[in-house]
Amino acid sequence: MKIAVVGTGYVGLVTGTCFAETGNKVTCVDIDQSKVEKLASGEITIYEPGLEKIFLRNLKEGRLKFTTSLEDGIQEADIIFLALPTPPGADGAADLKYVLSVADHLGKILKGYKVIVDKSTVPVGTADKVKQAIAVHYKGEFDVVSNPEFLREGVAVDDFMKPDRVVVGTDSERARKIMGDLFAPFVRQGNPIIYMDERSAELTKYAANSFLAMKISFMNEIAQLCEKMGADVDMVRKGIGSDERIGKRFLFPGIGYGGSCFPKDVQALIRSSAEVGYQFNILEAVEKVNAHQKLHLVHKIRKYFGDQLTGKHFALWGLSFKPNTDDIREAPALEMIDALLTQGATITAFDPEAMPNVRKHLGDRIQLASSQYDTLNNADALIIATEWSEFRTPDFEMIETKLKQKVIFDGRNLFDVKQMAGLGFHYESIGRK
């Protein structure tokens, strides 16, 4: 098939590349001239494990192309995917200006039947708004489909190529047949393509992310309780995660969730609920818990140092909101940095991939090191904010040599409590003694 993907962020670039990998001809469209030139020349613009290899292969084979012209990009396309930003507005609702602007433009340039697919995470009713925006200028046949993405940064390629399920929202049999043919290569092992109406598909994405965010906040509440009761959250996690009704995933306590999806989607669903007169109490609590949890480690640090952080210097491992990505949107590390700097501390940080983005975001407010161990020089304590694999089995002798004191605050529970006690470290983690 011939496909156009409008937007080359995380979702758009992964979507376009993975569709090309199954033999489709894909043209990706973006208004950012510099980004398009980089991508067209073979320079990938995001960090996502496994993406660069197939990106370069499909670029070389001519199945993947890039342009700044929407008209050129969609000219031969059978299907047009909208993978555009939907940032939260001032009121918390998703801002649809990019989606509706492109829909308006499409209405002026469409020729012949097309399937326009909302791939972005959008509020319920967006498909109707896109149809209306296109129909203002275009009187021919077209269908608008909701096809939410369920990609996890760090494993997005695997998620796309081997999805748990594909959700397709449409009442059109013609569009349903086209979408079924498109996704057939991705569900050969029997995972379902679930067809539903557009509004149900739109709500499915918000419901899925909000439920996962709720699991994270619930476990962080349990972790808080464990600290007060002398229980071990790791044992509790294993005990409940073995129940197939609950499942093992998204039960790891830590310093809160971040990224481009969970915070925005929880906030948007709360706002959408309010618009129809419903107060989503559980999600309001999820937000409150997460905001508190992001600073939970800071409270431990302040207590240890007697609320005197002026002049203290900290080493920080991890800046991205999760491992295997360079994404720092809503990252707990950034909230901790702001809190510690406000209280007079200084910080030297390291992250395998996210430091360029942090440098753009924070400038020279913190120092960035060339390795995880270079952060430790003359630091009063080590703080761990992201669970990168290379942080899991560090050289503790080197840590001891470089730190002023043998003190570690671990926001991701990377190390064994008994091991750390045996090594003589003052070690504080989440939900454990």
Show the beta-strand stretches assigned E in 7-54.
25-29
Number of Cβ within 10 Å of residue 361's Cβ equals 15
Element (H, E) at 175: helix 173-183
Q: Which amino acids are annotated catalytic? A: 261
| Side-chain-facing half-sphere of 184: CA atoms under 13 Å | 10
Q: Is residue 238 a known part of a binding site?
A: no
**How high is the pLDDT of residue 92?**
76
CA–centroid distance for 351 within its chain: 17
Show the beta-strand stretches assigned E in 160-223.
166-169, 193-196
What CA–CA distances, in Å, run from 314 to 58, 135, 218, 425? 44, 57, 29, 16
Confidence band of 260 (pLDDT split at 50, 70, 90): confident
Q: Is residue 119 a known part of a binding site?
A: no
**How high is the pLDDT of residue 422?**
97
Q: Is residue 204 a known part of a binding site?
A: no
Residue 87 above 90 pLDDT?
no
- How do residues 188-218 score in pLDDT, each as one tens digit? 999 999 999 999 999 999 999 999 999 999 9
**How high is the pLDDT of residue 91?**
78
What dihedral angle (degrees, nearest 10) is formed by the CA atoms of 153, 156, 159, 160?
Answer: 140
Q: Is residue 425 a known part of a binding site?
A: no
Q: Is residue 302 a known part of a binding site?
A: no
Q: Is residue 254 a known part of a binding site?
A: yes
The C-alpha atoms of residue 241 and residue 100 are separated, in whole angstroms, by 42
SS3 347: strand
Which domains does the chain possess? 2-196 (3.40.50.720), 205-292 (1.10.1040.10), 294-428 (3.40.50.720)
- How do residues 326-365 score in pLDDT, each as one tens digit? 999 999 999 999 999 999 999 999 999 999 999 999 999 9
The C-alpha atoms of residue 29 and residue 4 are separated, in whole angstroms, by 7
Q: Is residue 322 a known part of a binding site?
A: yes
Average pLDDT over residues 293-317: 97
Residue 93 above 90 pLDDT?
no
Q: Is residue 252 a known part of a binding site?
A: yes
Please, what is the average pLDDT of the chain?
A: 96
Residue 304 above 80 pLDDT?
yes
Q: Is residue 251 a known part of a binding site?
A: yes
Q: Is residue 416 a known part of a binding site?
A: no
Q: pTM here?
A: 0.91
**How high is the pLDDT of residue 88?**
84
Return phi, psi of residue 318, to 5°: 100, 125
